[in-house]
Structure 1
């Protein structure tokens, strides 16, 4: 059975999402180790979403709740969020609801900004990470590969990609009320990961020319060279942060990269630089006292796109600093583009139905194999009996094998029909009633549900 434990901007507080995001790197391995029936786990962690997709290998009729509670307890232990809080917060989706949910997520239909494109790449990278960690499973592989195919189909066949705006572009739209001249603004980009490339492209679309980049992980020089901008080294960070008109953070660091202390240090350093410059003697200048330099006035906007937070909220205690974070951006998210969204949701629903149809057919595979094995065992025994009596001929054997194929044709068709209509039990019951074959039944997928 497929299960999804989901916390997002729709059902969770930002603080909980932040703690879950910090724990995301180790979450899948902790989950698969917490219960023997959990054969796979893939974690999707974005700036507004944390989801654990689980593959539960339990016989039909066995309750999944012990494994689900164990998974929640494992998340609690790794994230330092109380298990009770997680049970009250997490949405539980299971069975047939899981592919529909993931396909909608990967297509941008569940994002803060409906139609944003970054999520598809994040879903793809989550699968790659699970492969690297050894926590994926064949069914989760199929689920996530199908999710990527669906998101590409939505992008290519609907107007959702153009109707929706990315989180980066929405944040810059909100910033426009404070930025009078993008070309004249000094911009500091912190981070070279998730959103850095998209952020730089969006800045250039608005006319920003004076952009610098700093990376806590040391990748600023490489990023700067490949994008034609200047890199900032650690020693100059405080000054550059204080000098910038606009700071945009998008790092995966698990600590604050910008805080009031950093900006205060930078402002103090700039003041010293200005005082030192004024103290330099000027040749051929009239001997007259210079007026004391006026105190520098700072007007800075900081956009924090990091999850967990890259910017300490204490920056707003400094004069002239405004902070635009994910919580604020979420409040201003635009309404859906109704036509494009409707088309996209239909594509997602159809993809989910197709995925489920394949899954349900596969769920009857043990019964089909059992029937074929039973019938062919009888066939081989009859052929051997005929051979022992010297009554065997190639024509007789061919006729018997053809007859068995004809007789099995209808049961094979019925298996697919019954699987797609959800009547699995009828097939299992029929085999037991007619042939005495008792086959272990695979779990029947069900709809989504709320938390346990």
Structure 2
């Protein structure tokens, strides 16, 4: 069983395709189980965000796993496999580990270094865990990826060098509106991205923040926690709020449009709409209204270069951390993979020793307890000394690439039951995301 990643992101696909492939709510749970129930997949989780949809899976066959997952993604997106395949990327074994760590550190994000992806990966893991589609291998991979992401942020500050999507959007907004300080902003939605928007607007000195959400209590809680004057409104009052706002940021999880062009009243002041949702919240026709500018995810595609220009040293430092962590993770995984074979070898040796001691007791019934104990200790000591050097050495050799061949050699040479190492290697995993 090995780890496979099949996905598409802002780097490989246009926003229109990402919108079709994105999954949330019941659709995400359904896709998760469809992947998990496919022929070649043993474990899976799905990371679906505004700029990436990635399936992480443990598979028994590479080609079979890629085929299963690609076909299910195409069916979910409502496109042909040929249409989707040109936008897909595939990572396997070592490269899958490197990709997971890079994603967690924000190196693969539209805005390099952004930290929101950590929460998104953690949420994906928890959903898969709750649905019973994740096991030992993905548990260890994702938990380590989350730790690597935290380490990268703590040691390099790359999450500060790379501005958030909201920050980049506000830079674009300033080009249209001018100084943002003292202006009125409307945030539509109350999820994680909306919380980030409210915090970023407060730091920008916005005069007032209005939060609109389908669930009023969530909007109220977000407004109450803002470090700027803020108030919550019902979604039914959205049209009136749109007339008042200078800046509108929409980032809901709705499956259809939230803001239609006919909902946006004419106003004497200039207005800027920032649509960070996937699928889009804002009708593209809004951008054609007098005095209105609209920016979406497509307009933020240059943000990666901007972030790297802000912090090239931090980005390079993160890449070194990822390389070191990948090497350590793979080395530990290879060493752990041989451990069950070593346990099986020692178990077989112990069984042989006990059988021979029992036979000796039958042949020499006159031995007293002291002599019998001394003989047993001597035989066990001899076996331990004979096995010590090869078992230590095979663990060392196993940590290098191709080290699994040494475990296979041990099983062949000592005629070990191949199921014995597997039984030791795969206990039930219980735990939660850190």
TM-score class, shorter-chain normalisation, is 0.7 to 0.9
Give the equivalent residue in structure 2 for 1:123.
121
Whole-angstrom distance in 2 between the partners of 1:260 and 1:340: 42
Whole-angstrom distance in 1 between the partners of 2:13 and 2:193: 23
Alpha-carbon distance, 1:234 to partner: 2.9
Asked if structure 2 preserves the Cα contact closer than 8 Å seen for 1:305 and 1:325, the reply is: yes
Q: Secondary structure at the match of 2:176?
A: coil
Whole-angstrom distance in 1 between the partners of 2:349 and 2:118: 47
Q: Which is further off, 218-227 or 197-206?
A: 218-227
Asked if structure 2 preserves the Cα contact closer than 8 Å seen for 1:28 and 1:42, the reply is: yes
TM-score, normalisation: structure 1: 0.84
Match of 1:51 among 50, 54, 57: 54
Gaps of 5+ in 1: 268-295, 443-452
Rg comparison, structure with higher value? 1
Alpha-carbon distance, 1:438 to partner: 6.6
TM-score, normalisation: structure 2: 0.88
Q: Secondary structure at the match of 2:79?
A: coil
Q: 1:369 to 1:86 in 2, by over 3 A?
A: farther
Asked if structure 2 preserves the Cα contact closer than 8 Å seen for 1:366 and 1:439, the reply is: no
Give the equivalent residue in structure 2 for 1:308.
279
Whole-angstrom distance in 1 between the partners of 2:312 and 2:165: 19
> For 1:219-238, what aligned pairs fall within 5 Å after superposition?
219-227=218-226, 229-238=230-239
Q: 1:430 to 1:234 in 2, by over 3 A?
A: closer
Q: Deviations over 1:83-129 (max 9, x none)?
A: 22232221110111112111111111111111111111111111111
Match of 2:403 among 415, 423, 426: 423
Give the equivalent residue in structure 2 for 1:254.
255
> For 1:329-348, what aligned pairs fall within 5 Å after superposition?
329-333=300-304, 334-336=306-308, 337-348=311-322
Whole-angstrom distance in 2 between the partners of 1:205 and 1:350: 35
Asked if structure 1 preserves the Cα contact closer than 8 Å seen for 2:22 and 2:48, the reply is: yes
Give the equivalent residue in structure 2 for 1:133.
131
Give the equivalent residue in structure 1 for 2:143.
145
Whole-angstrom distance in 2 between the partners of 1:24 and 1:426: 41
Give the equivalent residue in structure 1 for 2:349.
375
Whole-angstrom distance in 2 between the partners of 1:154 and 1:54: 25
Whole-angstrom distance in 2 between the partners of 1:235 and 1:335: 38
Give the equivalent residue in structure 2 for 1:358.
332
Match of 1:89 among 73, 87, 112: 87
Alpha-carbon distance, 1:303 to partner: 0.4
Whole-angstrom distance in 2 between the partners of 1:225 and 1:375: 67
Whole-angstrom distance in 2 between the partners of 1:207 and 1:430: 67
Whole-angstrom distance in 2 between the partners of 1:99 and 1:78: 26
Whole-angstrom distance in 2 between the partners of 1:327 and 1:250: 15
Asked if structure 2 preserves the Cα contact closer than 8 Å seen for 1:32 and 1:135, the reply is: yes
Alpha-carbon distance, 1:298 to partner: 4.4
> For 1:17-36, what aligned pairs fall within 5 Å after superposition?
17-22=18-23, 23-35=27-39
1:40 aligns with 2:14: no
Give the equivalent residue in structure 1 for 2:427.
none
Whole-angstrom distance in 2 between the partners of 1:236 and 1:120: 34
Q: Deviations over 1:154-213 (max 9, x none)?
A: 111113122221111111122112233423322111011021222112111111021101
Q: 1:342 to 1:226 in 2, by over 3 A?
A: closer
Q: Which is further off, 21-30 or 252-261?
A: 21-30
Whole-angstrom distance in 2 between the partners of 1:147 and 1:430: 32
Q: Secondary structure at the match of 1:5?
A: strand
Gaps of 5+ in 2: 423-434
Whole-angstrom distance in 2 between the partners of 1:235 and 1:370: 66
